[in-house]
Structure 1
Amino acid sequence: MEKKTLAIVGCGKLATLVADAYRDNLLPEYELIATYSRSKEKAQHIADKINTVDSGSTCIPCASIQDVLAMKPDYIIETASPNALKEFALDALKNGSSIVTLSMGAFADQAFYENVIKTARENNTKVHIASGAIGGLDVLRTVSLMGKCEATFQTEKSPNSLRKSSVYQESLQHEKKKVFEGNAIEAIALFPTSVNVSVAASIASVGPENMLVSITSIPDFVGDNHRIEIKNEQVHAVVDVYSATAQIAGWSIVNTLRNIVSPIVF
């Protein structure tokens, strides 16, 4: 069977985890042919992991996203940022490459979301939304199909994870405080890289404008604690996911890639 070709855009810790899974033969139906990152060193590092003597693979660290697209990979793994996804997604889909993304926060932009759907349909390509640091997207989607429902997304974080945001203040190091309450569109605008999962949950259910999001800062907290809740007249579902690190997000990409080629899909 001919292997499907892969490229990685965004070569940080999560991409490294995917590359390690690839080296450990957890993705035997794929061939990783290209990497790209704003940091040439990071792209080279992952390519070097693949280009071992016994791997039989040649992975090229690319100098630009255009170089990646020129290689026409079957799938592009995106672990960079919502802005990065916006920059290349339409060109990739037109080019025949499907996308596996963690930056679903980009889809809070309704115009971009609709353009992606239209472009993917016209070019027989797809965008696969990895579950990232949450779960239960199938339950959310199922409940939403049943009729009118409401949903909430609550997150607990360390104050240190909020340092680069406008809500941060030193007092958060000593007091528990709800620092944000609004919908998923407002949340991703304020926290461009840390609440992508709230947009994923909203797309699977009530939509970004209707998903109520709250973020609470807790002193000395480690990791992320997410609670997703959805209700209709017949169903009340709660999904709780705590993760000490972001590794689950990288593994969700591995799981998505395995599902794509599996005869049995979870």
Structure 2
Amino acid sequence: MTTTRIAIAGLGAIGKTLAKRIAGGTIPGTTLACVASGDAAKARAWLDSEGITAPVVELAAFPDHADLAVECAPSAIIEEICGPMLKAGKTVMVLSCGALLPRPQIIELAKAHGGQIIVPTGALLGLDAVTAAAEGTIHSVKMTTRKPPRGLIGAPYLIEKGLDMDKITAPTLIFSGSAREAAKGFPANVNVAVALSLAGIGPDRTTIDIWADPSVTRNCHEIEVDADSAKLSLRIENIPSENPKTGRITALSVIAALRKLRAPLRVGT
């Protein structure tokens, strides 16, 4: 079995989980080649505390070390992460997929140089079924998201509208619109909706309602898909990680996707 060398961009909750799993040898066929972080000294100290020997490098150096980079960083720097790898004809696994919508040049870069962008299932249920339905005709896709108000704090849409999440005392619909609009207004919160749209009928026809709901402790998503091949009703409740904007299952989804790379039996599209 050949080994896939993995680079990790960002050492937040997701990046640390991945680094420990890969370095611990629990994902066959992979090795942790390097990491990049906004605070290199802090990253080096954490790696040393975990007994992980991977080097801390600049994003531009990823292609020299790795075959595949996993983006676990702020969406604003997605081009700095993807650009060098894609120009080298390599692969990037993108979690901040909402950042791809206003940056079509990243996808064009992959096309031009034979690179690949992978969007893992993340915190969402049923992407395989939606992808299959898209081979036929999908009439509509609607998503309803409910999150604890504190998990939405800092979203540009809320700042623009002057909405204070600390004042939410009952379930409140704070946004209704397309997945593209949602990705712009809530870049750290609705990557699930963008992944759904990319799997199905696109970000302009996929609609989403976002509720701030103080009665929930999990990130809840309901999806309704009407297609010529099936009608799908999907619901998932994700337990937040130490970062309330991100579910614990997101990191596990990346691990599952990496495991598929070299698995002798691969289940799911």
- Fold-level similarity (TM above 0.5): yes
Deviation of residue 51 (structure 1)? 4.3
Alpha-carbon displacement from aligned partner over 1:92-126 (angstroms, at most 9, x marks no partner): 111232111211111222xx33x333332333321
Q: Report if aligned partners of 1:172, 1:219 keep a CA contact under 8 Å in 2.
A: no
Does structure 1 residue 68 correspond to structure 2 residue 58?
A: no
Structure 1 residues 263 and 120, CA gap change in structure 2 (3 angstroms)? farther
Structure 1 residues 141 and 230, CA gap change in structure 2 (3 angstroms)? same
Match for residue 123 of structure 2 among 133, 149, 152: 133
Q: Report if aligned partners of 1:34, 1:61 keep a CA contact under 8 Å in 2.
A: yes
Q: Report if aligned partners of 2:23, 2:31 keep a CA contact under 8 Å in 1.
A: no
CA distance in 2, matches of 1:197, 1:170: 21
Matched position secondary structure for 2:176: strand
The percentage of counterpart residues that share the same residue type is 24
Does structure 1 residue 259 correspond to structure 2 residue 264?
A: no
Matched position secondary structure for 2:265: coil
Matches within 5 A, 1:109-188: 109=102, 112-113=103-104, 115-165=105-155, 166-167=157-158, 168-170=163-165, 172-188=167-183
Aligned residues: 256
Alpha-carbon displacement from aligned partner over 1:225-261 (angstroms, at most 9, x marks no partner): 0112210234111221111122100011101111111
Matched position secondary structure for 1:120: helix
Alpha-carbon displacement from aligned partner over 1:195-238 (angstroms, at most 9, x marks no partner): 11110000000101111011011114212001122102341112
Unmatched 5+ stretches in structure 2:
241-246
What residue identity is the alignment partner of 1:95? A
Alpha-carbon displacement from aligned partner over 1:123-159 (angstroms, at most 9, x marks no partner): 3321111111112111111112212421011100011
Name the structure 1 match of 2:99.
106
Name the structure 1 match of 2:18.
18
Structure 1 residues 250 and 182, CA gap change in structure 2 (3 angstroms)? same
CA distance in 2, matches of 1:125, 1:23: 25
Match for residue 203 of structure 1 among 198, 215, 220: 198
Matches within 5 A, 1:180-259: 180-245=175-240, 246-259=247-260
Structure 1 residues 198 and 41, CA gap change in structure 2 (3 angstroms)? farther
Q: Which moved more, 1:99-108 or 1:167-176?
A: 167-176
Deviation of residue 164 (structure 1)? 1.1
CA distance in 1, matches of 2:28, 2:42: 23
Structure 1 residues 17 and 124, CA gap change in structure 2 (3 angstroms)? same
What residue identity is the alignment partner of 1:142? A
Q: Report if aligned partners of 2:10, 2:36 keep a CA contact under 8 Å in 1.
A: yes
CA distance in 1, matches of 2:232, 2:185: 27
CA distance in 1, matches of 2:49, 2:253: 20
Unmatched 5+ stretches in structure 1:
53-57
Match for residue 86 of structure 1 among 79, 86, 90: 79
Structure 1 residues 153 and 27, CA gap change in structure 2 (3 angstroms)? same
Deviation of residue 188 (structure 1)? 0.9
RMSD between aligned alpha carbons?
2.0
Does structure 1 residue 77 correspond to structure 2 residue 79?
A: no
Deviation of residue 82 (structure 1)? 2.4
Q: Report if aligned partners of 1:153, 1:229 keep a CA contact under 8 Å in 2.
A: yes
Q: Which moved more, 1:204-213 or 1:20-29?
A: 20-29
Deviation of residue 46 (structure 1)? 5.0
Q: Report if aligned partners of 1:100, 1:127 keep a CA contact under 8 Å in 2.
A: yes
Name the structure 2 match of 1:55.
none
Name the structure 2 match of 1:47.
47
Structure 1 residues 164 and 99, CA gap change in structure 2 (3 angstroms)? same
Deviation of residue 83 (structure 1)? 2.0
CA distance in 1, matches of 2:62, 2:235: 37
TM-score, normalised to structure 2's length?
A: 0.88
TM-score, normalised to structure 1's length?
A: 0.88
